[in-house]
Amino acid sequence: MRNYDKLYIDGAWVASAATSTIDVINASTEQVMGHIPEGTAADVDSAVRAAKAAFPAWSQTPVEERAAALKRVQAGIGARMDEIAEVIAGEVGMPLGMAKAIQVGLPYNETGINADLIGGIAWEETIGNSLVVREPIGVVGCITPWNYPLHQIAAKVAPAIAAGCTVVLKPSEMAPLNAFILAEIFDGAGIPKGVFNLVSGTGPVVGEAIAAHPDVDMVSFTGSTRAGKRVTEVAAQTVKRVALELGGKSANVLLDDLEGEALAKTVAKGLGACFLNSGQTCTALTRMLVPRAKQAEIVEIAAKALAGWTVGDPLTNAGRLGPLISDTQRDRVRGFIRKGVDEGATLVGGGAEAPEGLPVGYYVKPTIFADVTKDMTIAQEEIFGPVLAIMPYDTDDEAADIANSTIYGLAGGVQSASKERAISFARKLRTGQVDINGGAFNPAAPFGGYRQSGNGRELGRYGIEEFLETKSMQL
């Protein structure tokens, strides 16, 4: 049991303005695994005042010192990697081994990448008679989700601090314990007080207070498209910059030149690109677009591969998939599965029933549908669970049309026997990133979406630049 009864504000652990707490539930046992303060708007105000006071000095701190500070934070994450992985495996439900490699490994690497990159930012340049300088935007409010909780924190906090900004963080109340460990790491890393502040609580209270605060210069938000619209609406009243990383309904397009063993491997990898983290991934490739003439073959391959996607206790690595985050999410995903059946999609495997032998925990069977058309609910809405929709097409142009037929544009994949053909097709996709023939995730490359998947970019140099303002001085 991890109980936190204080917030981290201005370099100290302080009591919340309220005495109420929020239970943190273990996704596989459905038992309380910790408590956190239910912060208030008054707590946000205290944190923003601290961040605003710390900004002048931190923004003028030499780049080398900011890099060194982030390296100390990175070392702190590395020293507590096993502990953090176990906490996130409980909070989120990702199997422990993967939680260590992904849920902790990514933020560890990202923190170091930001430290390495800030020395290469073009902080100033001369254009004619103007000196153009880039300066940190100011106080940044970071509002983060539960599915990759520490990764999403690192993707915002590390570049903001690298850029010279100060931060007020609101982690998801569903998976917040890892953020409190991070606050302990910041506290032990000798970061000046007020540079990093943590206020836990709910979105309608703490999140809205951050978005509305007149002394918050920028909000960086990751979450649902619906919530992102609300953040934008509230933030607009003070005309602050808003960066959004929102939902996705990404297509994985298998072109018609894939044959034999290459096709079988591609389909099997496609299941992994959909089911990672029990499908609770914004970039999950949840729509597999396949040549109509090969759909039967691909469905057979997928059905056989599905048998290997076992479900079990994440803390013992008992399965490849753990539970979903909550009972609400479990019921929501099962509702989508029923909707797919009702609307006429062919159920290949899985289903809405509870997995056998797991009476406790928010588990859902990994599920595959075939014969899915673009007008079906499961082809349009972000399910955020382990549900794959196989969608047939007749021509490349039709495949591109289907891929671009949702409101989202976060990610995608193109698989082909020809890398050049895959790249050519990828240029037709209205998405922020595309995996070509299973290309690996690159934490130094820009990440973000088109359309209702958001605006702005995270990660790498682009992520740091998101937190900078540009000033021209005419000489």
| Mean of the per-residue pLDDT values of the chain | 97
Q: How confident is the model at residue 449, as a pLDDT?
A: 96
Beta-bridge partner residues of 165: none
- Read off the tokens for 378: 């499961």
Fold of 251-436: Aldehyde Dehydrogenase; Chain A, domain 2 (3.40.309)
Annotated catalytic residue, options 173, 282, 382, 465? 282
Please state, for a pLDDT cut of 90, what percent of the chain lies above it.
99
SS (H, E, C) 55-108: HHHHHCCCHHHHHHHHHHHHHHHHHCHHHHHHHHHHHHCCCHHHHHHHHHHHHH
- Per-residue burial over 128-167, b if 16 or more Cβ lie within 10 Å, else e, is eeeeeebbbbbbbbbbbbbbbbbbbbbbbbbbbbbbbbbb
Q: Mean pLDDT across the stretch 324-347? A: 97
Identify which of 219, 205, 84, 215 has the alpha carbon closest to the alpha carbon of residue 140: 219
Q: What is the DSSP letter of 41?
A: H
**Regarding beta strands 241-245 and 454-455, do their DSSP bridges make them parallel or antiparallel, or are they unpaired?**
antiparallel
Residue 307, Cβ neighbours under 10 Å: how many?
8
Q: Is the pLDDT of residue 6 over 90?
A: yes
| 309, 367, 369 from 312: Cα distances, Å | 10, 15, 22
Annotated catalytic residue, options 38, 91, 110, 245? 245
Q: Specify whether 142 is catalytic.
A: no
- Using one digit for the tens of pLDDT, what is the confidence trace for 249-294? 999 999 999 999 999 999 999 999 999 999 999 999 999 999 999 9
Q: In the chain, what is the greatest distance between 2 CA atoms, to the nearest angstrom?
A: 74
CATH of domain 2-246+451-474: 3.40.605.10
Spatial contact of 254 and 417, defined as CB atoms under 8 Å apart:
no
Residue 255 to residue 211: CA distance in whole angstroms: 43
Domain parsing of the chain, residue ranges: 2-246+451-474, 251-436
- Give residue 129's pLDDT band: very low, low, confident or very high (50, 70, 90): very high
Q: How confident is the model at residue 1, as a pLDDT?
A: 86
- Using one digit for the tens of pLDDT, what is the confidence trace for 183-210? 999 999 999 999 999 999 999 999 999 9
- Using one digit for the tens of pLDDT, what is the confidence trace for 63-120? 999 999 999 999 999 999 999 999 999 999 999 999 999 999 999 999 999 999 999 9
Decide whether 2-246+451-474 matches 251-436 in CATH topology. no
User: Whole-model pTM above 0.85?
Assistant: yes
Q: Specify whether 420 is catalytic.
A: no
Residue 407 to residue 240: CA distance in whole angstroms: 25
Q: Is the pLDDT of residue 325 over 90?
A: yes
- Read off the tokens for 421: 């053909």
- Per-residue burial over 329-362, b if 16 or more Cβ lie within 10 Å, else e, is bbeebbebbebbeeeebeebbbbbeebeebeebb
φ, ψ dihedrals at 131, nearest 5°: -100, 115
What's the length of the chain? 475
